[in-house]
Copies of this chain bind each other. A is one copy, B any other.
Amino acid sequence: MENHRTEITNDITQSIRNFLDGKKYSQIAVICDENTEEHCLPVILDGLPEHYLLRIDSGEENKHLGTCEQLWMALTDAGFDRKGLVINLGGGVIGDMGGFVASTYKRGMDFLNIPTTLLSQVDASVGGKLGVDFHGFKNHIGLFAEPQNVLIDTCFYATLPQRELRSGFAEVIKHGLIYDKSYWQKVKTIDLDDANWSELVSRSIDIKKEVVKADPFESGLRKILNFGHTIGHAVESYFLDKGDQRLLHGEAIAVGMICEAYLSHKFTGLSIEELDEIVAYLIGIYHPVKIDKSLFDEIIGLTLQDKKNEGGAVQFSLLTGMGACKVNIPIATPDMLDSLFYFNQQLG
């Protein structure tokens, strides 16, 4: 695990050329969606040799086995062998799904990730978690495998909607909260319209790498990265097919972090002042809306499919203070419900 290089660059085409230099790939496929084809492909085109363009429809709702089959078929039709290369040009959906497709095509070919969103750069780019959703369950089918390399250039944010940038920022906030109090102090002061993104992305990636390196297969420490994600994923899953109400990943994680900060206060020693500070900040950035309490049971039901669970109990990763997190805290259903009521209360 984690043998690949992550390169933060401000010349993405040259970085691609450097990566390919001396390598003998039999064929190259670039996986993109309609957004990255329009906004990101032109930026890297000068660095690409002859290649097949495999375009999929954007969005989490297309992150499923049906899209994988299309991609496997396209690689087959183009005669790809195991010595080909897949370049994933896009956000987390393309990185997770393109990596899964490459890792399982003829039992595995190389892939290069060029994450184009803040979220995918600080989160999906590290850790080797690949996969697709399955009947509404997030990342339910997948595996651990590493790209050959990850090339990161924040120039792609220029065409990223502000809402997407803010969504990715939720993971940056999380990295401070779970691992590095001084980083959290810094993150709090950032103006999203005028941030030094390269510096932030670099620190966030370092934090994630340190954590993943210590526990590549998520048997212990790595689970701290799931702070906010147990309830957050359930909320994200619930609203996935709810049209306009759909939440971006980071927006759902912000809801999850509010609920789980509350549980951290209740069970793992986060002080009331720390809870208030976190919640006020998240509400100020994300302006979440109340969740109708008639939905609580179904949302909590979705946490039962969380991959971290063992033996039927829902396991949480909760804060013990600012920059510190404890894993494997079993939380009973009434307490999860309680945290959702708390969430609604905070919105006044």
Name A residues whose Cβ lies closer than 8 Å to a Cβ of B: 26, 65, 69, 72-73, 76, 79, 81-83, 103-108, 129-131, 134-135, 137, 139-145, 217, 304-305, 307, 309-312
Contact = CB atoms under 8 A, between A and B. Distances in A.
Q: How many subunits of this chain does the assembly comprise?
A: 2
Contacts of A145: 143
14 contacts: A65-B65, A76-B134, A76-B137, A76-B305, A79-B304, A79-B312, A81-B309, A82-B307, A83-B310, A83-B311, A107-B130, A107-B139, A108-B143, A108-B217
Contact of A82 (B83, B137, B139, B310): B310
A167 to B, nearest CB: 23
A143 B304 CA distance: 28
A131 B108 contact: no
Contacts of A142: 104, 106-107
Nearest to A77: B135
A58 to B, nearest CB: 23
Question: Chain A at the B interface: mostly helix, strand, loop or mixed?
Answer: mixed
Contacts of A312: 26, 79, 81
Given A76-B135, A107-B130, A107-B139, 12 more contacts: A26-B311, A76-B134, A79-B304, A79-B312, A81-B311, A104-B143, A105-B140, A106-B142, A107-B142, A107-B143, A108-B143, A108-B217
A10 B137 CA distance: 42
Nearest to A305: B76
B26 A81 contact: no
Given A72-B134, A79-B304, A106 B140 contact: yes
Contacts of A104: 104, 131, 141-143
Contacts of A307: 81-82, 106-107
Contacts of A107: 129-131, 139, 142-144, 307
A65 B76 contact: no
Contacts of A137: 76
A143 B128 CA distance: 15
Contacts of A65: 65, 69
